[in-house]
Structure 1
């Protein structure tokens, strides 16, 4: 799908969409519980649908209806899937379900699309090898066979926290206690906190002491009703637009959220953004922005939109610990470098450090989305913030996490036209 964005006057209020990160976790906990749970504010993005499919493969039943998920859980009695489990392009689905699927004790195949099977799974590969269990990965699929055994686990903290969350979700179901030790540096800890909060909501206890997690076995997830909180990582897109243009209010966020991406508001404040707190969010007024130094270790999903923010700040924005952006849906550093250059900006990268200087942008008729939802949304914000016309190919990638992103931008006054099917 090609999207054309014309020069627009944007203003108004936008409610953050439901958190994809929390939706994954709440659905999985509900799917493992014995009984029915109802989860409100579930956005049927492609990633969330992938998790729903994986739960049904394990024996749960998931019905999505009008922003709500009705989940009849399997009670922790995991059945081996009849066929391969299609994880779509969802890294969370793949990494969360590997330990759960291993609990079935039979060979399992997992499929992925796009770059999913190119994303490293070395943490699990070594873990399975230590337990003498089969685990192999190709460019098309991943195969494994359990069962995992309770006991002591050690995971590197400098890689994706999804490995840690996957083990935390599965280990309480094993017939024995386990200890999970995370070796420093422990990055993306906020995502692990989201996992622990969801598990606690469903009655599963984990005791944490520093980087060590003590996990009693033979636990059972209990059904409950709840709602998905607003997504701070998605709220970052209209928030940056508001900081640059002014006149935009972002709401729908939980004030005590564990989401690490809430740091976007601290970053904007350090940049000098005109911000006023409102219930569940912030109102933005236009103010000159200055460059700051940013550590991406605990908020990697903010990478693309922070590069856009740097284009509108006076001075040089430095984004550190950005190396993991290379192995997302796209190489997000290279993708943003290529597309921002078409707009007249420049992004420099060396190792895990990205540098962006403020620039005067111009329109571009041939931006590529790189099949990456966050790249597409970041380029959209760049065009609207600079008030320049652009065309973006592969814009359907937004369906991965925020299916109605463009209609929500239209609610703010953006002149957006689509050409082609999704």
Structure 2
């Protein structure tokens, strides 16, 4: 799939969708299942390109992983069974695979080279490399180890206490995973809580991990034990249809079995604050994660300010939240979101470009954007920036434009939501 042209929606959206499994949890389930002793069964695994990169990495290190549809089985033999890969590891566009695997590869007693596609090669890795070097990791690469490709000479690491300078679950996770290979304790302290899927899963797999407020400590003296994982629906994927239901006249959409981890539900808080007609039902705990069914209906929305501690809880949803804000009455201000600049692309610049092209009144700032609504949107040709969330935002925007929207390249959507257009068409 390359260029895609989408017509405006001329009727209400209605129906039920089950969004794919959570990308963050799918990555982590593969990682810990591969490090553990025993058989791990993962159900509702996200069959997207990014998560497959993580599977291929561990297969290259000798782990037996089989996949049938959305079910993955890992026959783990423990950390000591991992072998040096015969070739450099290719991570495609997956920043999660790269940053989390750096924490693991740094502690394995062999040499590895990792690389990615053109987009990933531009993303900064020093935020992970620097704390790992403090743990005695040997990592080298372009720009003194800030850019891929990187080489890792794995060895015994040393524990440390590290205060996160950025609001990044990937950095936190990389350091905690490295802690599995480090002498003594490894402690990570956050200033603002980020998603905690790594901590939840480490506990489920029997790691020696303790949490106290914004501090998490792990020791390396416990072997991981296989644990079955059911992956909830990805709320970051659900967000696109939550916004669609909120802005398309007369719509009524239900999204079933969506993950409701409180470190990820900022999009729900924002919708409610903007006066969206939203309801959560059948909330329950599955494999250590809260899930539930979300119903969204069209309503008149109002602009709000989004900043501070909520930002890490919705950082991936900000592109589609900006679209939502363009259809709300009044001004929406998004602040404290400078992390957007180091995603698959500079998402502040990309969002401003795409929505401006479609007629939105939006202005980028150093750490976010200002959107004034309610603004009628027009058609046009937009750039995806090879970023799945930008491409999907453009597709949802096409529902309320007055003419067709052409996305220059929608192929990146397969990274996180291969069935996106199928689900979109099921509502139209």
TM-score (norm 1): 0.91
**Larger CA deviation: 221-230 vs 304-313:** 221-230
1:281 aligns with 2:293: yes
Q: Secondary structure at the match of 2:47?
A: coil
SS of 1:261's equivalent in the other structure is coil
Please state whether the residue corresponding to 2:313 is helix, strand or coil. coil
Aligned residue runs from structure 1 range 63-142, under 5 A: 63-77=66-80, 78-131=82-135, 133-138=137-142, 140-142=148-150
Unaligned segments of structure 2, at least 5 residues = 283-291
Could you tell me the TM-score, scaled by structure 2's length? 0.89
Question: Is 1:55 the equivalent of 2:58?
Answer: yes
- Cα deviation, residue 173, structure 1: 4.3
Deviation at 1:242, TM superposition (A): 0.7
Shift of 1:114: 2.8
Partner of 1:416: none
The two structures, once aligned, show a CA RMSD in angstroms of: 2.0
Match of residue 285 from structure 2: none
Gaps of 5+ in 1: 414-422
Maintained 8 Å contact 2:266/2:313: no
Separation in 2, partners of 1:385, 1:238: 13
Contact 1:114 1:329 in 2 (8 A): no
1:137-176 equivalences under 5 Å are 137-138=141-142, 140-174=148-182, 176=183
1:6 aligns with 7
Match of 1:303 among 318, 341, 346: 318
Distance 1:254 1:341 in 2: 31
Question: Within 5 A, what are the aligned runs for 1:213-362?
Answer: 213-245=216-248, 246-253=250-257, 257-258=260-261, 260-279=263-282, 280-295=292-307, 296-362=311-377
Q: Report what 2:289 is aligned to.
A: none
- Aligned partner of 2:407 in structure 1 is 392
Conserved 8 A contact 2:176-2:186: no
Name the residue aligned to 2:191.
185
Of 383-392 and 128-137, the range deviating more from structure 2: 128-137
Indicate the SS of the match to 1:70: strand
* Structure 2 CA distance for partners of 1:202 and 1:181, relative to 1, 3 Å: closer
- Structure 2 CA distance, aligned partners of 1:164 and 1:220? 20
Distance 1:148 1:89, change over 3 A: farther
CA distance in 2, matches of 1:179, 1:133: 14
Structure 1 window deviating more from structure 2 (39-48 vs 200-209): it is 200-209
Q: Specify the SS of the correspondent of 1:252.
A: strand
